[in-house]
Amino acid sequence: MSYRYCYWIFTLCFLLVGCRKSTEGTVLSPGRATVSRLPYEVKAEPAVFESAFFPGKQVQQHSSTIILRQQLLGNLPVSSGQLVATDPITLSAQTPCFTTQFLRGRFPVELAIARFTSDERVAFAHVLFSAKPLARWELAVLPGQSPLPVRGPEYYGYLVDGGMALFLDAADVNRFSHFMADEAAAKNLMITCFHLDSAVPVPGFLYATSHDTLAAFSTGFGDGSYATYVGLDAENQPCRLLTDFQVLAWQ
């Protein structure tokens, strides 16, 4: 067999493999956070949105003490500066992003996990854009939505129907929605990677496909409508994005 013939066989095999649609992504190792900050005296309310991510945090609720632990999922690539928070089941190419323009780069996604007697639930998920202290929170809005007060009787939220949610860059929504249209890909992300068939499911992770990287995490006690908030620093620059999964009472 000639070298030229072997070369063309190898090239054909490479193209066939390379063109085959991948139905599985990869769970990434968290690595080291690109942004970190020390605990400080939080003045922006609700204070628990920030202090829940401080080591050793405890809160009193219904005569019980809830201990919070923090988990780094990894550093989320933000290429457009626009972010989407959504349920993967309802994700489509038309899913809108928040109107806030965030920094571009790679930023830590962290979970604040509430420990109960025999259970753990994700209370908050956030993206940490800077180490600057918070000055205030505001409700994240989509195009066409009017601002609402953080402590008001109404809020905007995204619906969760699969017990999990995502943070991803708006530039990745179209590709990833097509990726998730594949049944095997959806099963890999929503069941296999969360270890739902085991006694110890994982609360979240960074997930990478051939083109996109996103953060996936469980949503409190499961399905519901969950509000997302933008934290701003003293210069009125966005420094946090946080979803509250209604595990801790703060109203």
Place of tokens 């905007």: 156
User: How many CB atoms lie under 10 A from the CB of residue 155?
Assistant: 17
Per-residue pLDDT of the chain (251 residues; tens, 9 = 90+): 443 433 333 333 333 333 334 457 999 999 999 999 999 999 999 999 999 999 999 999 988 899 999 999 999 999 999 999 999 999 999 999 999 999 999 999 999 999 988 889 999 999 999 999 999 999 999 999 999 999 999 999 999 999 999 999 999 999 999 999 999 999 999 999 999 878 788 999 999 998 899 999 999 999 999 999 999 999 999 999 999 999 999 98
For residues 107 and 213, give the distance between their C-alpha atoms in angstroms, rounded to a whole number.
Answer: 12
Number of other CB atoms surrounding residue 204 within 10 Å: 27
Q: Output the pLDDT for position 200.
A: 82
Give DSSP secondary structure letters for 24-39. Answer: --EEEP----S-----
pLDDT tens, residue by residue, 163-209: 999 999 999 999 999 999 999 999 999 999 999 878 788 999 999 99
- 34, 108 Cβ separation under 8 angstroms: yes
Q: Find residue 205's DSSP bridge partners.
A: 216
The closest of 204, 192, 114, 210 to 167, measured between CA atoms, is 204
Q: Judge residue 156's burial from the number of C-beta atoms within 10 Å of its C-beta, 0-12 exposed, 13-18 middle, 19 or more buried.
A: middle
Both tokens of 32, joined, read 């080291």
Nearest to 229 by CA among 242, 215, 248, 245: 242
Residue whose tokens read 């469980």: 218
Residue 169, pLDDT score: 98
pLDDT of 8 reads: 38
pLDDT of residue 237: 98
How far apart are the C-alpha atoms of 66 and 220, rounded to whole Å? 14
